[in-house]
Amino acid sequence: MNRRSLLKGAMGLGAAGAAGFPHIWIKSADMAYAAGGEIKIGILYSLTGTTAIIETSLNHATLMAIDEINAAGGVHGKKLVPVVEDPESDPATFAQKARKLVLSDRCVSVFGSYTSASRKAVLPVFEKYNNLYWYPTLYEGRECSQNVIYTGAVPNQQQKEFVPWLVKNFGKRFYLIGSNYIYPKEENNVCKILLKQLGGEVVGEEYVPLGHSEFSSVIQKFQDTKPNVIFSTVVGDSVVALHRQYKAAGLDPAKMPMASLTTSEEEIAAMGGEFAAGHFTSAPYFMSYDSPENKKFVESYQKRWGADKVTNFVSEPAYFQVHLFAKAAAKLGASDLHPAEIRKAAWGETVQAPEGLVKIDPDNSHTYLWPKIGEAQANGQFKIIEQSKEWVKPLPYWAYEGEVCTPTGMMEKKS
Amino acid sequence: MTDLANQIITGLSIASILLLVSLGLAIIYGVMGVINLAHGDFLMLGAYAVWLMESALGLGFLPCLVMVFFIVGAIGWLVERTLIRHLYGRPLDTILATWGIGIILQQAIRLSAGAQLRYVKMPDYLVNPLHLLGLDISAYRLLIFSVTIVLVAVTYILIFHTSFGIRLRAVMQNAEIARCFGINNARIYSLTFAYGAGLAGLAGALVSPLKSVSPDMGTNYVVDAFLVVVSGGVQSLFGTVASAGIIGELSGGFAYFWNDTLARALLFFLVVVLIRFRPQGIFAMPLRRG
């Protein structure tokens, strides 16, 4: 290679580099968010690794919502272009991919995360670059970021009606079983507060390692303590193992039902309906809910991704939050399309979701939802036996007296 | 009294699953000295094979078990023939190679069968518990227990009472001298590896209706299996059986008095201490190595 061809090559590389990273050359950052007739948004759900099982369904629901919005003409006539990344169920990779989506791809918002660990891992990225993260999962609350819109349920929305209902129907003695991480512990804190108010009693509280699948000791403790209700926040494949071994040990859901915040249609499909039948779950959404929006949601989901696929209480928010995003973005002028503006526009925004009309709470960027109680059936679906008469306001700091989430950050009231 | 009986049964049922998942590893690791990190993924293949045969072909659970043994055994044989046999005597390389195989198998399943949990049906007649001696005993766990005993017996007979077993033990003790006596080492190795893989597949198939089926299910089991094999003493079938029993009862007991998280940590701690002071395991067989 002589010097001339080397120079030519270097020039070529430089040109390719410039084409590959156009934002380097664009001075006004705001221009880039809606450049060239398209609006880029990031999709950050794991397609491989431990939580890929559930996160793939979130990815699917999100892509479907994007297609619907584009088919209806997009936002301001611009198409939403999803940039899909696979963070491999690893919090460090989540942070790295989030940085890529925010900095190199210049996405105006990113939709992602299932676990709290991965959300906490990407938070610094979104706060540093003042971008916006849309988080669909029900979670333990106690967070108040300026750069996240939370569309899943928080403890007060899942438990405030559920626990009194359980006490009324089954009794006051609860056994709390969960996986060993922050979500079950925070949910159980809330449950204990509610039980105390109702004069209930916790006869056992136990946490098993994530991915645990040997429940014989736990089941023996159920048999010894004879609780009225087994309050379960076990997650992932452990849910399947627990239900199967519960039935194989001869326990009866009519006398000692499991009341869960985490068992969805997805887990039931994997364990077999006969093992889930008679147990209860509290969530804002069930696949069997009867509404025109849900009928359409389930139909198009199965048409697009396979007739054996189920929708669940995480994939539903993953779906409707994209519509909320589009409605918020449509309120802004094309040149105002900026994460901070979208956040403001999203406050108070509503959409007719499959579960009912939902609204983003301007007080704390969480979402007004419709809690329901479902009883699992042998056919793998839930029979909805209770549903709230009105939407329930999200209170992410419900269990912590004197702490409130406000639009400008967490406030501690001096009391 | 009932409590104690219940506790012992709980321990036994944990132990039988431990033994079931570690038997294949004990054979491959003990006999061939190959540290097979893909063991958990052979297990996973077994679970998926049962799922596929049940859902696509509509076969019953018990006939599936027999076929799974041969299917996963054949895959094991293929892996040994194409890869492992080039790596004998290079333990570090086999660790890396089998780990790689594990990843390939996992991703192959993820791409072909999907990432979601799969459903393997428990046979109807085994769902409800049996009443024995005033205790409720899970019928399915009883099946696992019996199959495990049968498999240990078959393995014992295979190693100590067949001509294949004699040749196998000869190769174990000194491969070079065994070859001088006309024993086809390569054939012994590939059959042994296939047998171990087949056992792993069978284990995966058997636990699948009680636990769950996902592409990365093997990871937990491979850890358990190594725990049992290492603390029992490599190369000792009796050691593996005994250590599965001890670990099962201990983890059941710890979990009963405290909880499962602590039980697991305590167990790992005990095994680390054990290996520090008795690296050959509790029941090591005195053996001359070639």
Q: What is the pLDDT of residues B174-225, one digit of tens each?
A: 888 888 888 888 888 899 899 999 999 999 998 888 888 888 888 888 888 8
A237 assigned to some structural domain: yes
A53, A209, A245 ranked by CB distance to B210: nearest:
A245
Q: Which residues contact A272 (CB under 8 A, 6 or more apart)?
A: A244, B119, B121, B122
Cβ neighbour number for residue A333 with a 10 Å cutoff: 9
Q: With contacts defined as CB-CB under 8 Å, which chain A residues touch B251?
A: 214, 217
Q: Measure B9 CA to nearest chain A CA, in Å.
A: 9
User: Which of A4-8, A37-41, A82-86 is predicted least confidently?
Assistant: A4-8
A386 assigned to some structural domain: no
Q: Which of A283, A312, A334 is the last residue of a domain?
A: A283
A119 assigned to some structural domain: yes
Is the CB of B220 inside 8 Å of chain A's CB atoms? yes
Q: Work out the end-to-end distance of chain A between its first and last CA atoms, rounded to an integer number of angstroms.
A: 77
Residue type (1 letter), B282: I
Q: pLDDT at position A371, please?
A: 93
Give yes or no for a contact between B130 and B142, defined as CB atoms under 8 angstroms apart.
yes
- Same structural domain for residues A35 and A140? yes
Of the spans A13-17, A244-248, A277-281, B189-193, which averages the highest pLDDT?
A277-281
Contact B13 A206 (CB under 8 A): no
Question: Tokens 């994530």 label which residue?
Answer: A210
Give yes or no for a contact between A172 and A228, defined as CB atoms under 8 angstroms apart.
yes
B10, B138, B220 ranked by CB distance to A211: nearest:
B220
Q: pLDDT at position A4, please?
A: 58
pLDDT tens per residue, range B78-97: 999 998 888 887 888 888 99
- Same structural domain for residues A118 and A168? no
Is the CB of B255 inside 8 Å of chain A's CB atoms? yes
pLDDT tens per residue, range A136-159: 999 998 888 889 999 999 999 999
Contact A244 B261 (CB under 8 A): no
A121 assigned to some structural domain: yes
Is the CB of B135 inside 8 Å of chain A's CB atoms? no
- Considering only CA atoms, which of A128, A125, A129, A111 is closest in space to residue A44? A111
Q: With contacts defined as CB-CB under 8 Å, which chain B residues touch A244?
A: 122, 209-211
Q: With contacts defined as CB-CB under 8 Å, which chain A residues touch B19?
A: none
Q: What is the mean pLDDT of chain A?
A: 87
A325 assigned to some structural domain: yes
Is the CB of B258 inside 8 Å of chain A's CB atoms? no
Q: pLDDT at position B85, please?
A: 85
- Same structural domain for residues A172 and A242? yes
- Considering only CA atoms, which of A384, A392, A330 is closest in space to residue A358? A392
Domain hosting residue A256, numbered range: 157-283
A365 assigned to some structural domain: yes
Q: With contacts defined as CB-CB under 8 Å, which chain B residues touch A247?
A: 127
Q: Which residue of A has its CA nearest to B114?
A: A53
Q: pLDDT at position A38, please?
A: 87
- Same structural domain for residues A142 and A103? yes
Contact A216 B213 (CB under 8 A): no
**What DSSP line would sit under A21-73, residue for residue?**
-GGGG-S-HHHHHTGGGEEEEEEE--SSSTTHHHHHHHHHHHHHHHHHHHHTT
* Whether the predicted pLDDT of A191 surpasses 60: yes
**Token output for B199:** 């056992």
A393 assigned to some structural domain: no
Question: Tokens 């190595």 label which residue?
Answer: B289
B117, B141, B210 ranked by CB distance to A53: nearest:
B117
Identify the contact set of chain A against chain B, taking CB-CB distances under 8 A. 47-50, 52-53, 56-57, 180, 206-209, 211-214, 216-218, 220-221, 223-224, 237, 240-241, 244-245, 247-250, 266-267, 269-272, 274
* Whether the predicted pLDDT of A105 surpasses 50: yes
Q: Which of A283, A318, A339 is the last residue of a domain?
A: A283
* Whether the predicted pLDDT of A58 surpasses 70: yes
What does DSSP assign to residue A332? Answer: S
* Whether the predicted pLDDT of A285 surpasses 90: yes
Q: With contacts defined as CB-CB under 8 Å, which chain A residues touch B213?
A: 270
Global ipTM: 0.78
Q: With contacts defined as CB-CB under 8 Å, which chain B residues touch A212?
A: 260
Domain with residue A122: its CATH number is 3.40.50.2300
Which class is domain B2-277? mainly alpha
Give the start-to-end residue ranges of the domains of chain B.
Answer: 2-277
Interface test with A, best of B211, B217, B249 (most A CBs within 10 A): B211
Is the CB of B203 inside 8 Å of chain A's CB atoms? no
- Same structural domain for residues A186 and A117? no
Q: pLDDT at position A34, please?
A: 67
Q: pLDDT at position A29, please?
A: 47
Is the CB of B6 inside 8 Å of chain A's CB atoms? yes
Q: Which residue of B has its CA nearest to A49?
A: B216
- Give the pLDDT mean for A211-239: 89
- Same structural domain for residues A57 and A163? no
- Give the pLDDT mean for A396-403: 85
Residue type (1 letter), B95: I
- Same structural domain for residues A240 and A338? no
Strands (E), chain B: 130-132, 135-137
Q: pLDDT at position A24, please?
A: 47
Note down pLDDT in tens along chain B; length 290 residues: 567 777 888 888 888 888 888 888 888 887 777 888 899 999 999 999 999 888 888 888 888 888 999 999 999 999 999 988 888 878 888 889 999 999 999 889 888 887 777 788 788 787 778 877 777 788 888 888 889 999 999 998 988 889 888 888 888 888 888 888 888 888 888 998 999 999 999 999 988 888 888 888 888 888 888 888 888 877 778 888 888 888 888 888 888 888 888 888 898 899 889 888 887 777 766 554 43
Q: Measure B205 CA to nearest chain A CA, in Å.
A: 14
- Give the pLDDT mean for A309-333: 93
Q: With contacts defined as CB-CB under 8 Å, which chain B residues touch A276?
A: none
CA atoms within 13 A on the CB side of B197: 28
Q: Measure A91 CA to nearest chain B CA, in Å.
A: 18
Report how many domains make up chain A: 2
A16 assigned to some structural domain: no
pLDDT tens per residue, range A44-54: 999 877 777 78
Indicate the pLDDT class of residue A25, thresholds 50, 70 and 90: very low
**What DSSP line would sit under B158-224, residue for residue?**
HHHSSHHHHHHHHHHH-HHHHHHTT--HHHHHHHHHHHHHHHHHHHHHHHTTTS-B-TTTHHHHHHH
Q: Chain-centre distance of CA B172, in angstroms?
A: 20
Q: Which residue of A has its CA nearest to B113?
A: A53
Contact B119 A269 (CB under 8 A): yes
A180, A216, A245 ranked by CB distance to B261: nearest:
A180
Q: With contacts defined as CB-CB under 8 Å, which chain A residues touch B119?
A: 269-272
User: Which of A58-67, A307-316, B180-189 is predicted least confidently?
Assistant: B180-189
Phi-psi region of B177 (alpha: psi -120 to 50; beta: other; left: phi over 0): alpha
Q: pLDDT at position B135, please?
A: 75
- Same structural domain for residues A178 and A111? no
Integer CA distances (angstroms), A204 to A175, A188, A212, A262, B193, in order: 5, 11, 18, 19, 46
* Nearest-angstrom CA–CA distance, A325 and A330: 9
* Whether the predicted pLDDT of A324 surpasses 60: yes
